[in-house]
Structure 1
Amino acid sequence: MNSVLAIITVTCFVTIAKANTDVLQIPPNGLGAKGKQINITTLLEWPTTESFMTDYAKPARPFIVRNAAKDWKASLKWTDEYLMSIDEGMKEKVTVEQAKKEDRNNPAEELSLHEFVRGYQEKDWYMVERVPMFLRQDIVMPPLFQCPLIANLLLEQMMWFSNGGTKSVLHFDSMDNIHCLITGRKLFVLIDPKNKVEIDQPQGSYSSVDVDNVDYSKHPDLLNLEYHMAYLSAGDCMYLPYHWYHQVRAADRNIGVNIWWNHFSMMTMDYSSCEDVPQQHHKTMDQFQFQGTDKLLQHEEAIKSHFRMLTGQGGTPLTYDRLLFMFLGDEEHRPGMKDGEDSLKTLFQSF
């Protein structure tokens, strides 16, 4: 009898221990564990356009808005059952990564949205895809984009969907970003770009560092930094400034939506005519046009700034051929991009 009780006790202990293991908890040697951790600014409502530009965008200060998306139709409706009930989901193709710990060398798979929803709870699948057109009416665009001038700067939007446990690489984006969490929890570990972080995979703007077990002999630049921590719960949105390094961990059934826009065009525009639109009149994502990230190739200062982030990283000189690969991909995937190649060559020669 005592043996039976002992087995039951041990089993219960192991079960409770597993239940209390939070996938958002950074491992002892993980990225962000060794250094000063700083929680980023938290707001209870979106700042006005003037405040956003003056207090956050221009000084490049990230912030969280609690419950900003909690009343979106997406937050209220996007259960697996609802997504499976939409007929368009049978044909809508989505990109699915095959491992929860990001490895950009692993090939992705293309499935229908319905195939993904049927299988993601049992597999290490991670959907990373533009928001399907038939779901965009469920997403209210943040107040900043209700101004037509700023809406014209929109580049891309993405949907991130898993059953939790995903871990991204450490990377940066050459665009400003707002990320809203529909379900689940996320931790963004951020590093101010004022710190020099080695990006040894410049073609993808990311580091090959193991985010769960940092080898500080290879990555001394990551020791004793200030790490800005952003914990998001369902309904929260975060502003992630241009070029901030970040690594992301997700927990629970997890759906996030992010919006990228042109940083440099926003920094140089006159936004004084932008008026703050009452919340009840905010437009949804389906009413906006996204120009695509290729639009950045038309902005000289954006390209030069990206060069500066990458020049000399990893001890490898930034050659013109490497530059073409970073921006335009392999030669076989560049049909009709002669103008883009000529523009990059001219800019490269100016450095």
Structure 2
Amino acid sequence: MAQIQSYSNLDQGQFDKLVSQDFPFIISDCNFGSCLQKWNAEYLSSKLNGSSVKVHVSEEPVLNFLTKNFRYETQNFGEFLQKCAHPDGDQQYLYLRSIGVDKRGRDVADIQKHFPQIADDLVMPPFANFCTDIDCEEEGTTKCTKRHLFSSVFRISSKELVVWTHYDMVDNILLQVKGEKRVTLFPPSDAPFLYIRGDKSEIADLDQENIEAEYPLFSQATRLDCHLGEGDAIFIPALWFHTTKALQFSIGVNFFWKDRQLAAFYNRTDVYGNKDLIPAADAYSNVDKALKHLSKLPPKYRQFYLHMIIARLNKELTE
């Protein structure tokens, strides 16, 4: 498989062509605004100290969503930043993935809306061709051909913190503003090798010793690692599995957008961009029903029909 390439001075046509290839790429030397010069713990503390944020807190650097080795705490933004950037002797690993303010969890993350004190520091890259018209209808009735932002997500993490391997339903650009970060990706075709539960992998620590002893299929996966320095960004296509490791105190931003052709299939209650498309969710439900029916049969017959179903699915993959 090809390696992740880096591109600079992109224009809209080049960006569109690269996105259409459905393969990650790094964006360097791009103007994302004064955030690249301003944003650090001290500056953000001075701007956001009066606000509060909900953060992940763990005694372990590798966060595992499936085992929940972390807890959620609401903290003062300034205090959170200082603990995150300048940890004391009792090391805690802190992680902010910004969310909306709706207590019912129905609000999509939006830096312009939820962090207006610093919103002007962040510039949307012209090559991404994002629509900024708040009156524009994005769900299929408009002739607008621009990309419509689904969400803009603030991410801040302690040094060494690892975010679990997962996939999203929407394309995104991850901008590294402060610090350095390792991004590891796997193509969608690697799903059989990553021990997926829901949208997340059971393999929490990709750097653990003897990983293949516990997860033997992982040896067949195609791992792509890349390094993001300050000011670098990476395009992560929908359905690509990815995980990040903060090599230093880290500040970043995600720009997520939906595929207009899939507008009718997105789950409208999805505020994170990771709920499966409606037809896929229905298909999963039918698989569960099929397995329940087959469980009534003796093992010999159950295995026979499971093999028959697998054969039909493999045929679909090759046609």
- The answer to whether the 8 Å contact 2:165/2:201 transfers is yes
Residues 1:178 and 2:142 are matched in the alignment? no
Measure, in 2, the Cα distance between the counterparts of 1:318 and 1:47.
46
- The answer to whether the 8 Å contact 2:177/2:250 transfers is yes
Given the alignment, which residue of 90, 93, 101 partners 2:50? 90
Hey, which of these two has a bigger chunk of helix by percent? Answer: 1
Residues 1:124 and 2:124 are matched in the alignment? no
What is aligned with 2:201?
A: 207
The alignment-based identity, stated in percent, is: 20
- The answer to whether the 8 Å contact 1:96/1:111 transfers is no
Query: Quick one: which amino acid aligns to residue 200 of structure 2?
Result: Y
Query: Quick one: which amino acid aligns to residue 95 of structure 2?
Result: Y
Residues 1:51 and 2:14 are matched in the alignment? yes
List gaps (5 residues or longer) in structure 2.
100-110, 133-143, 291-319
Q: CA deviation at 1:217?
A: 4.2
Q: CA deviation at 1:92?
A: 3.4
Given the alignment, which residue of 31, 36, 40 partners 1:75? 36
TM-score normalised per structure 1: 0.62
Measure, in 2, the Cα distance between the counterparts of 1:151 and 1:111.
37
TM-score normalised per structure 2: 0.67
User: Please, what is the CA RMSD of the aligned residues?
Assistant: 3.3
Q: CA deviation at 1:197?
A: 3.4
Pick closer, same or farther for the CA change 1:295–1:180 going to 2, 3 Å.
closer
- The answer to whether the 8 Å contact 1:58/1:267 transfers is no
Query: Quick one: which amino acid aligns to residue 8 of structure 2?
Result: L
Given the alignment, which residue of 177, 182, 188 partners 1:187? 182
What is aligned with 1:109?
A: 73
Measure, in 1, the Cα distance between the counterparts of 2:250 and 2:271.
28
Pick closer, same or farther for the CA change 1:294–1:318 going to 2, 3 Å.
farther
What is aligned with 2:159?
A: 164
Q: CA deviation at 1:119?
A: 1.8
Measure, in 2, the Cα distance between the counterparts of 1:158 and 1:128.
7
Given the alignment, which residue of 256, 260, 271 partners 2:256? 260
Pick closer, same or farther for the CA change 1:215–1:163 going to 2, 3 Å.
closer
Paired residue total: 250
Query: Quick one: which amino acid aligns to residue 122 of structure 2?
Result: I
Given the alignment, which residue of 139, 157, 163 partners 2:122? 139
Pick closer, same or farther for the CA change 1:184–1:306 going to 2, 3 Å.
farther
Secondary structure of the corresponding residue to residue 125 of structure 1: strand
Deviations 1:163-216 (A, max 9, x none): 31111222111111100000111111111112333565634x101213232632
Q: CA deviation at 1:39?
A: 3.3
- The answer to whether the 8 Å contact 2:46/2:78 transfers is no
Query: Quick one: which amino acid aligns to residue 166 of structure 2?
Result: H
Q: CA deviation at 1:317?
A: 5.0
List gaps (5 residues or longer) in structure 1.
1-35, 269-290, 321-351
